[in-house]
Amino acid sequence: MIALALLFMVIIGLLLVIVWLLQKYFDTYSSLHTSENSQMAELQRRFSIRQMQAEALSCEDEINVIINERLIEMEQKFPTVYHEENYPQEEAEVLAETLKNVLTSYMNLLNKNLGNRNPACKIIFILIANSLFMSLC
């Protein structure tokens, strides 16, 4: 009887060991599966961050291109740096010429904007601009 009781205890012990090993196997398997998901999520997050950075850089590049084009247009309209080979003028003459261009363009703008609405203001500005223009000549 004791031998039969010991046999049942050994069988129950072996069954408990098998259940424990199966639990450990499934825990390990599930942790491997979730770690792959977390690694995949981490990779996707890093990839999305890099995509956002690339989009931001492309937007910055587009903005820089537009700004550079407008700066080139402004430089062509109102040159600020004269090369001595192309323009052998002195700095005062360059400043006077630039100021003449600014006053001329401002007078044209004033003529377009004011029209006949305020002739007194227009006449005063034209007189001031002409006196400055003549003093620079």
What is the percent of the chain where pLDDT is above 90?
17
The answer on 61 and 93 residing in a single domain is no
Measure the CA–CA gap between 136 and 97, rounded to whole angstroms: 8
**Domain contains 11:** no
**Domain contains 95:** yes
Query: What would the DSSP string read from start to end of 66-133?
Result: HHHHHHHHHHHHS-----TTT----HHHHHHHHHHHHHHHHHHHHHHHHTTS-HHHHHHHHHHHHHHH
The answer on 96 and 66 residing in a single domain is no
**Domain contains 131:** yes
Measure the CA–CA gap between 50 and 136, rounded to whole angstroms: 57
**Domain contains 13:** no
Q: Could you tell me which residues come within 8 angstroms of residue 96 by beta carbon, excluding any fewer than 6 positions away? A: 136, 137
The answer on 32 and 69 residing in a single domain is yes
Number of structural domains the chain divides into: 2
**Domain contains 10:** no
The answer on 88 and 130 residing in a single domain is yes
Measure the CA–CA gap between 95 and 100, rounded to whole angstroms: 9
- Given 77, 97, 114, the domain boundary residue is 77
What local confidence, expressed as pLDDT, does residue 135 receive? Answer: 62
Averaged confidence pLDDT in the chain: 77
Query: Does position 10 have pLDDT exceeding 80, yes or no?
Result: yes
The answer on 112 and 65 residing in a single domain is no
**Domain contains 9:** no
**Domain contains 45:** yes
What local confidence, expressed as pLDDT, does residue 20 receive? Answer: 96
**Rg, C-alpha atoms of the chain:** 42
Query: Residues 112-127: pLDDT tens digits?
Result: 665 555 666 666 666 6
The answer on 65 and 30 residing in a single domain is yes
What local confidence, expressed as pLDDT, does residue 12 receive? Answer: 96
**Domain contains 60:** yes
Query: Does position 137 have pLDDT exceeding 70, yes or no?
Result: no
Query: Residues 63-112: pLDDT tens digits?
Result: 888 888 888 888 888 766 555 555 555 777 777 778 777 777 777 776 66
Q: Which domain holds residue 98?
A: 84-137
Query: Residues 53-66: pLDDT tens digits?
Result: 988 888 888 888 88
Query: Residues 11-37: pLDDT tens digits?
Result: 999 999 999 999 999 888 887 766 666
The answer on 88 and 55 residing in a single domain is no
Token pair for 126 = 């034209």
Question: What's the whole-model pTM score?
Answer: 0.34
